[in-house]
Copies of this chain bind each other. A is one copy, B any other.
Amino acid sequence: MLNFNFYNPTQIVFGQGQLSQLDSLVPKNAKVLITYGGGSVVRNGVLAQVKAELAKSARSVSEFGGIESNPKFATAMQAVERVRAEQIDFLLAVGGGSVMDATKFIALAAANADYQGQEEQLLIHGFNPVPVNNAIALGTVATLPATGSEMNCFAVISRGEDKLPVYSPLTFPKFSILDPELTYTLPAIQVANGVVDAFVHVVEQYVTYPTGAHFQDRTAEGILQTLLEIGKTTVDEPSNYAARSNLVWSATMALNGLIGSGVPHDWSVHMLGHELTALFGVDHAQSLAVVLPSMWRVRREPKREKLLQYAERVWGITEGGDEARIDAAIANTEAFFNSLGIATRLSAHGIDQQGVERVLQALEKHGMVALSERGDVTLEVSRQVLEMAL
């Protein structure tokens, strides 16, 4: 087991009817800005419920809607202006990962005067924490199980064709309300995306190389098994509480730091996926589903031991030689994604060899030339992966 530092102070309030806790979770005298996305929370009534709860104490409450998928720097900056103008001291994100991510950035940009006028400088720190001492307090009402943003301090912000990470220990939500019933009205494709997103989050921290971290491995396998058990059901039966509650909690646990403590991380699938999203607008999860099987086929040697462990423990594959078991595990993974209606080929998104070249140029521009748990995903390896995924 590698040395690690684990810290996650977000309070999770999970289950049916838990929106009723909101009045006790948000400070009674707060000046609240509710942030949300394209309006689904208006149409399904969640925003109205949130406002009714907040109105139980004498708070000032205003709203900022219109945060898009892959939230844009420019959009978030509009909210930052609102926060400054209205002296907001609590941000409540009501939505999915994009709304939560944007809200984390808003919390940082609005609270650090030394970045004023040059807030884009908050986005240059890559996978290092932003060196700031302040953030506006934030909470979330999570309506889309997928990204794990409700229980971590990470955000990804889009600026032009760049998807840029930003985080600080100060951007953990104070609380997140996870009521699975609030997700019932999601389109099936978004639920399927959520299953795939959570699945790939786990394998980026698990299918690397062994470090003898038993608890982390078993817990990662437990999340994957859970997603296999309930994935199809929760896409097909949106109001099945048993299935949906397991998706919601699994998606949170997939990326809250726990299973990634003391083990190597890959994230090369995400880095290639980010470029596909930025260049071609492929949904985040769908970009991962395209890259993952080919990445594993290309990198079967450096991942051999963990792929075999994955084959046996997650899929129960114990027959056949090593190569056959690895092949079967990858094929099963691809079939699982496909069973949810998620494609695993670039061609399904209309991306051809010319597109591959554009992705490679973007990876080079972004310095993504030595990715993965071993730093061995060079541009040449990325080329092999992308061409295999055509």
| Residues of A in contact with B (beta carbons under 8 Å apart) | 1-18, 212-215, 217-219, 221-223, 225-226, 229-230, 242, 245-246, 249-250, 253, 258, 261-262
Q: List 24 A-B contacts (CB under 8 A).
A: A1-B15, A1-B242, A1-B246, A3-B15, A3-B18, A4-B15, A5-B12, A6-B11, A6-B12, A6-B14, A7-B9, A7-B10, A7-B11, A9-B9, A15-B262, A212-B245, A212-B246, A213-B249, A214-B222, A214-B250, A215-B246, A219-B222, A245-B262, A249-B262
- Chain copies in complex: 2
Across the interface, name the chain B residue whose C-beta is closest to A11: B7
Q: Which chain B residues lie closer than 8 Å to A222 at the CB level?
A: 214-215, 217-219, 221-222
Give the docked Cα–Cα distance between A215 and B228 (Å). 12
Across the interface, name the chain B residue whose C-beta is closest to A249: B215
Closest chain B CB from A342 CB (angstroms):
21
Q: Are B230 and A226 in contact (CB under 8 A)?
A: no
Q: Are A214 and B4 in contact (CB under 8 A)?
A: no
Give the docked Cα–Cα distance between A11 and B172 (Å). 13
Closest chain B CB from A152 CB (angstroms):
14
Q: Which chain B residues lie closer than 8 Å to A249 at the CB level?
A: 1, 213, 215, 262
Give the docked Cα–Cα distance between A16 and B2 (Å). 9
Give the docked Cα–Cα distance between A214 and B16 (Å). 17
Q: Are A215 and B253 in contact (CB under 8 A)?
A: yes
Q: Which chain B residues lie closer than 8 Å to A15 at the CB level?
A: 1-4, 262
**Contact of A218 with B221 at beta-carbon distance under 8 Å, contacts A2-B15, A245-B1 already known:** yes
Give the docked Cα–Cα distance between A258 and B256 (Å). 12
Q: Which chain B residues lie closer than 8 Å to A7 at the CB level?
A: 9-12
Give the docked Cα–Cα distance between A246 and B214 (Å). 7
Q: Which chain B residues lie closer than 8 Å to A214 at the CB level?
A: 222, 225-226, 229-230, 246, 250
Give the docked Cα–Cα distance between A7 and B9 (Å). 7
Q: Which chain B residues lie closer than 8 Å to A1 at the CB level?
A: 14-15, 242, 245-246, 249
Give the docked Cα–Cα distance between A13 and B7 (Å). 9
A14, A225, A250 — most chain B CB neighbours (10 Å)? A14
Q: Are A242 and B212 in contact (CB under 8 A)?
A: yes
Give the docked Cα–Cα distance between A250 and B221 (Å). 16
